[in-house]
C-alpha cells in the first residue's frame, strides 16, 4: 500500500487490508488533524480492500467529523461503490459523483464533482 498527498488530498494505491490498516490509519488521521476543510481521498489506485480497510475509511470519516472536517471519497472503484450501497454507507460517506444501486439505477449523492 502507498498513500501520497497531504492534509487537503490523498490517494491510496494498492491494498488497504489488515496488513496495511495501521499505517494507513496513522497517515490518514495525521492528514485529518493537520488541515481544514475537506480531505479528498482518491481511491482510483485502490486494488483491494477488506473489512479492516473499510473500517479505516469509516474511522477517518468519524475523526474528520469530530474536527469539523469532511472526508470526501473520489474515484471510487465500482466494486467498492457496490459495497457502499449494499451496506448503505453511501448515505453516510461523502462520495463524488453517483453510486449505482444494486438494481442499476443511480443514487444521487450529496457531493458533486
- Split at pLDDT 50, 70, 90, the class of 98 is low
Question: Which pLDDT score, from 0 to 100, does residue 110 have?
Answer: 45
Gap between the Cα atoms of 1 and 77, Å rounded: 16
Strand ranges inside 17-109, DSSP E? 38-49, 70-74, 94-95, 99-100, 106-107
pLDDT tens, residue by residue, 59-95: 999 999 999 999 999 999 988 898 899 999 999 999 9
What structural domains and CATH numbers belong to the chain? 2-107 (3.30.750.24)
For residues 49-59, average pLDDT: 95
Rg (C-alpha) for the chain, rounded Å, is 13
Question: Which pLDDT score, from 0 to 100, does residue 97 have?
Answer: 74
For residues 50-55, average pLDDT: 94
pLDDT tens, residue by residue, 16-30: 999 999 999 999 999
Instruction: Give the largest CA-CA distance in the chain.
Output: 40
For residues 93-113, average pLDDT: 59
Gap between the Cα atoms of 68 and 77, Å rounded: 27
Calculate what percentage of the chain has a pLDDT beyond 70. 86
Question: Which pLDDT score, from 0 to 100, does residue 103 have?
Answer: 54
Question: Which pLDDT score, from 0 to 100, does residue 100 have?
Answer: 54
> Which helix (H) or strand (E) segment is 3 a member of?
strand 2-5
Amino acid at each position: 500500500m502507498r498513500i501520497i498527498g497531504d492534509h487537503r488530498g490523498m490517494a491510496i494505491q494498492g491494498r488497504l487490508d489488515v496488513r496495511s490498516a495501521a499505517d494507513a490509519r496513522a497517515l490518514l488521521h495525521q492528514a485529518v488533524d493537520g488541515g481544514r476543510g475537506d480531505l479528498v481521498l482518491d481511491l482510483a489506485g485502490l486494488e483491494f480492500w477488506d473489512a479492516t480497510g473499510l473500517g479505516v475509511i469509516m474511522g477517518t470519516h468519524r475523526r474528520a467529523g469530530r474536527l469539523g472536517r469532511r472526508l470526501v471519497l473520489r474515484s471510487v472503484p465500482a466494486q467498492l461503490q457496490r459495497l457502499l450501497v449494499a451496506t448503505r454507507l453511501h448515505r453516510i460517506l461523502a462520495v463524488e459523483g453517483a453510486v449505482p444501486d444494486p438494481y442499476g439505477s443511480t443514487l444521487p449523492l450529496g457531493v458533486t464533482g
